[in-house]
Structure 1
Amino acid sequence: MESMPKWSSSSSSCKARDETLHIVMFPWLAFGHMLPFLELSKLIAQNGHRVSLISTPRNIHRLPKLPPNLSPLINLVKLQLPKVDQLPQNAESTLDLPHHKVKYLMKAYDQLQQPMSQILSDLSPHWVIYDFAPYWFGPLASKLGISRVFFSVCVAPALCFLGPVPVLKRTSGEDDRTTPEDFTAKPKWIPFESKIGFKLFEIKSFFNDTSTNYANVPITFRFGAGIEACDVLAVRSSYEFEPEWLKLMEEVHMKPVIPIGQLPSSAYDDSFDETWYTMKESKWLDKQSNKSVVYVAFGGDTKPSQTQLTEIAFGLELSELSFFWVLRNRRGVDDTEVTELPDGFEERTKERGVVYTNWAPQLKILSHDSVGGFLSHSGLSSVVEALQFGKSLILLPFMADTGLIARHLEEKKMACLVPRDERDGSFTRNSVADSLRLVMVEEEGRIYRDKAKEMSGLFGNRAIQDKYVNNFVDYLKKHRPELAQEE
């Protein structure tokens, strides 16, 4: 363990010191989780409060550099993962592993209970904010008398769909869903009309994950234990976006629910920005017409199969649209299933497309005027980054939770989903091409372009975002243990 905080005990006044919070953040080891936790940390620090964000050394090194004005208030605590059989050396996030080996990362993560107990005892924070994965973290903090926030980086409808704690932990017979087919429709505790639900191929994958892929502790149990142990639920959402779902979350879980806004990403490391602006790929974007380019990326945790990759490639070719594709064809050194583009694809499309195989600054690409649409896996961070710049969404979800996000956005006319076979999830190059052209250029798809522009006023509005975080911080201040006792 490294980088324990050395907070100054001095302050301008006793009153200021007494009102300052110290909050510990503990995200799951996926960048789709760590980055929202970091963004929330920065917003809390802007309010003058101290944050200790705990992760592994390699992950902390890969996080965006902190702004100089906030770095004194945010301590990045490095915690070494224990060695676990079949977990490759230096594999510290889901980015480093093929999907079938994520269970070993979770196994190592679950072995952090004893060192985390020591860290919490040493730091004595007012609050901890934790993710879905450490089902043991909430009870551990509770035993130490620390107040607890369960932070969902997913949309409110997904948590509502999964159900209350007894359903999540399978401790009651309240859930009558017993087959994959049962999960393709909304459950009985959602009282209003909604198309929210899994496709059959998504829920089959989810069933497999909960039974085998997460160190023998199902995902749903992890959610249930985390929510059960918390004092308050924080969700990456807003009343402007999904008011009915936020209200339902409080009814389902019978706990305070506080939306903290969409957490639009702030700028990446300036040193990398300077490098990016001199690269040929950046200069290629500068030469393209306004809103003519489709940006293609499927996140750090998603790697399409060879069959899927082939259909996506041919779909891009058939669409005749310009594209910028950040292609990840391997997940870590232990991934033996390296995917390849169709023969001759890059040569045939070199006049109107870029295939980029290194890490790219997604925020910079999406903010570029030449980019008009985003073909994405529907990860919430990617969705927020696209909408904050008014980019239209074409979605191809590959994992269960992203399917729920995609369906929610589709229901709001905020995204177009590529048509797929509902049983096996297959799709064709023609369906990819047709969806891209619909959203990017055809008159029938104007609704998606208009909606993206409209939602940029919400997802990219820093004043609205600050309002939600300020409200959240006020709640934490009002309900921190020693203040509650004084009242």
Structure 2
Amino acid sequence: MASERSTLHIVMLPWLAFGHIIPYLELAKLLAERGNKISFVSTPRNIQRLPKLHPHLVPNIDLIGLPLPQVENLPEDAESTFDLPYDKVRYLKIAFDELQDSMAAFLQTLSPDWVIHDFASFRLVPIMEKLSIPSVYFSIFTASTVSNFCLQSPVIDGEDYPVEPRWVPFETTIMPRYFEIKRVCIDGGNVSDLYRLAVTVKGASAMFVRSCYELEPEWLQLAEDLVGKPTIPVGLLPTTAYDDEEDDDKKAAWLDIKEWLDKQEKGSVVYVAFGSETKPNQEQVVEIALGLELSQLPFFWVYRNQRGSADAEVTKLPEGFEERTRGRGVICTSWAPQLKILSHDSVGGFLTHSGWSSVVEALKFEKKLIMRPFLRDQGIITRLLVEKEMGYAIARDENGGSFSRDSVADSLRVVMVEEHGKVFAEKVKKMKAKLFEKEKQDNYVNKLLDYLHAASTIHHPSGSHKN
């Protein structure tokens, strides 16, 4: 029984993006609930921006902020990808590399049982080997994403990537497009992201994956075959919120949003949001906006026109758009409680970038998905859901990825109004029962802990590596 085992001290270090930080925190909560001690490491500003922990978790989770070294071209207040335009994220990775020096001193002092870390912290690998601290790579990406962006080679270049990955032994439509591959292979800072990933995986004892056998069993097996190490699904880790975490301003903002949602017909509203990292460019914003207008559907759009103060490209909505859609649509330019919005009965569909956390939240609340991916793994997630009839992708150019207002409007109406949309609703409802059953999620976490305990005895037969 998990509750009868000795507890572990685990350090967790996610990459400095909230699409990574939040799933790591959700896993930390599940591990802490079972009595394990978690040292959760990020930068001071990111730690401050985390949702509050439930009081019963506080004794077992230490939130530790290590100052981010300042590097040239990185704005002083930028500590996550949320604070930066795309072209400056590479400097965040360079700063993160330098953060590994203070991480080394931290680990030497703490001497934990395990480190669970992300793709970006590859410089920790030799440090942990020297300190005899075993590590696990926790992929916040799906197994199909991990398998497609092949882990066999650390030097893949976008130009050399095959149209159909030769290492996938089964028939599938789930593979990256050329323009998606190029985005993965660049902007790694001093080294490519794929190199970071390969070094991290090579140094890890195992790989944890934010996925489950109910969704992609064949891809989980393939990922393990490619890695050549235990590959353990951790479940989908839906975002959880502590009810008393919001301040008065956020509570007031939600009441205003709820008042508008309460006036709409059940299942009629399209929720539009593209996550903390994705910001459509000006041309894309225009097509999305005019597509929403053409659809004639009610919508609530969380519109972000800038990625931090260093972002020079401030996008604008089409002239007259807000006036023409006033009453039918809401443009929200400030904080919006995504979980509460998705849980509202009037919201029927979600126009999304297919970020994995957003998709998981939508599936949990049985919302139909209209998908327009922008970055990295989002295209793979989109095609996974299309293949399983759990979502509908907006039509786009296969070479460059462009799309039109008409394809946006048509896709929205197919899913929200036309008869075919019922297929997605039924499929999502059916899959929800499989994907979010508490017993299954508990089993995934317990098996993960079984591995950590068993592997600890292999790494440290005496029961501890501490001096």
Check whether TM > 0.5. Answer: yes
Tell me which amino acid in the other structure corresponds to 1:206: V
Tell me which amino acid in the other structure corresponds to 2:340: K
Q: CA 1:215/1:179 → structure 2, altered by over 3 Å: closer, same or farther? A: closer
2:450 pairs with one of 464, 474, 478: 474
Q: Does structure 1 retain, via aligned residues, the 8 Å contact 2:158–2:182? A: no
Per the TM alignment, residue 431 of structure 1 is displaced from its structure 2 partner at its CA by: 0.2
SS in 1 for 2:280: coil
Q: CA 1:372/1:116 → structure 2, altered by over 3 Å: closer, same or farther? A: same
2:154 pairs with one of 141, 158, 168: 168
- Where do residues 369-408 of structure 1 align in structure 2 (5 Å cutoff)? 369-408=345-384
Cα distance in 1 for residues equivalent to 2:71 and 2:248? 39
2:176 maps to 198
Paired residue total? 459
Whether 2:331 is the aligned partner of 1:352: answer no
2:195 maps to 221
Cα distance in 1 for residues equivalent to 2:55 and 2:361? 23
2:217 pairs with one of 243, 251, 263: 243
After TM superposition, the score normalised by the length of structure 1 is: 0.91
The runs of 5 or more residues in structure 2 that have no matched partner are none
1:427 maps to 403
2:426 maps to 450
Q: CA 1:17/1:437 → structure 2, altered by over 3 Å: closer, same or farther? A: closer
Per the TM alignment, residue 267 of structure 1 is displaced from its structure 2 partner at its CA by: 1.6
Cα distance in 2 for residues equivalent to 1:401 and 1:334? 25
- Where do residues 71-470 of structure 1 align in structure 2 (5 Å cutoff)? 71-165=58-152, 167-169=153-155, 179=159, 182-185=161-164, 187-207=165-185, 209=186, 213-268=187-242, 270-272=244-246, 275-276=249-250, 278-279=252-253, 280-470=256-446
Per the TM alignment, residue 278 of structure 1 is displaced from its structure 2 partner at its CA by: 3.7
Per the TM alignment, residue 478 of structure 1 is displaced from its structure 2 partner at its CA by: 2.2
Per the TM alignment, residue 101 of structure 1 is displaced from its structure 2 partner at its CA by: 0.3
CA deviation profile, 1:124-165 (whole Å, cap 9, x unmatched) = 110000001111123321221111110000000111112233
Q: Does structure 2 retain, via aligned residues, the 8 Å contact 1:389–1:460? A: no
Per the TM alignment, residue 248 of structure 1 is displaced from its structure 2 partner at its CA by: 1.2
Cα distance in 1 for residues equivalent to 2:96 and 2:158? 30
Cα distance in 2 for residues equivalent to 1:192 and 1:202? 21
Q: CA 1:314/1:130 → structure 2, altered by over 3 Å: closer, same or farther? A: same
Q: CA 1:283/1:184 → structure 2, altered by over 3 Å: closer, same or farther? A: farther
Tell me which amino acid in the other structure corresponds to 1:460: F
CA deviation profile, 1:54-73 (whole Å, cap 9, x unmatched) = 00000000001000000110
Q: CA 1:352/1:73 → structure 2, altered by over 3 Å: closer, same or farther? A: same
Deviates more, 1:421-430 or 1:197-206: 197-206
Q: CA 1:18/1:365 → structure 2, altered by over 3 Å: closer, same or farther? A: closer
SS in 1 for 2:212: coil
Cα distance in 2 for residues equivalent to 1:463 and 1:283? 36
Q: Does structure 2 retain, via aligned residues, the 8 Å contact 1:65–1:269? A: no
Q: Percent identity?
A: 52
CA deviation profile, 1:301-351 (whole Å, cap 9, x unmatched) = 111010100000000011111111001100000111100111111111112
Cα distance in 1 for residues equivalent to 2:327 and 2:177? 37
Cα distance in 2 for residues equivalent to 1:18 and 1:267? 28
Q: Does structure 2 retain, via aligned residues, the 8 Å contact 1:276–1:282? A: no
CA deviation profile, 1:266-302 (whole Å, cap 9, x unmatched) = 1255242765554322210121111111110001111
Q: Does structure 1 retain, via aligned residues, the 8 Å contact 2:158–2:178? A: no
Whether 2:10 is the aligned partner of 1:23: answer yes
Whether 2:40 is the aligned partner of 1:53: answer yes
1:40 maps to 27
The runs of 5 or more residues in structure 1 that have no matched partner are 1-15, 171-176
Q: Does structure 1 retain, via aligned residues, the 8 Å contact 2:287–2:405? A: yes
After TM superposition, the score normalised by the length of structure 2 is: 0.94
Tell me which amino acid in the other structure corresponds to 2:48: H
Q: Does structure 1 retain, via aligned residues, the 8 Å contact 2:214–2:435? A: no
Deviates more, 1:344-353 or 1:23-32: 344-353
Q: Does structure 2 retain, via aligned residues, the 8 Å contact 1:151–1:235? A: yes
Q: Does structure 2 retain, via aligned residues, the 8 Å contact 1:64–1:269? A: no
Whether 2:53 is the aligned partner of 1:66: answer yes
Cα distance in 1 for residues equivalent to 2:147 and 2:189? 25
Q: Does structure 1 retain, via aligned residues, the 8 Å contact 2:148–2:176? A: no
Tell me which amino acid in the other structure corresponds to 2:163: T
Deviates more, 1:374-383 or 1:454-463: 454-463
CA deviation profile, 1:21-52 (whole Å, cap 9, x unmatched) = 00000000000000000000000001010000
SS in 1 for 2:107: helix
Q: Does structure 2 retain, via aligned residues, the 8 Å contact 1:183–1:197? A: no
Q: Does structure 2 retain, via aligned residues, the 8 Å contact 1:376–1:396? A: yes
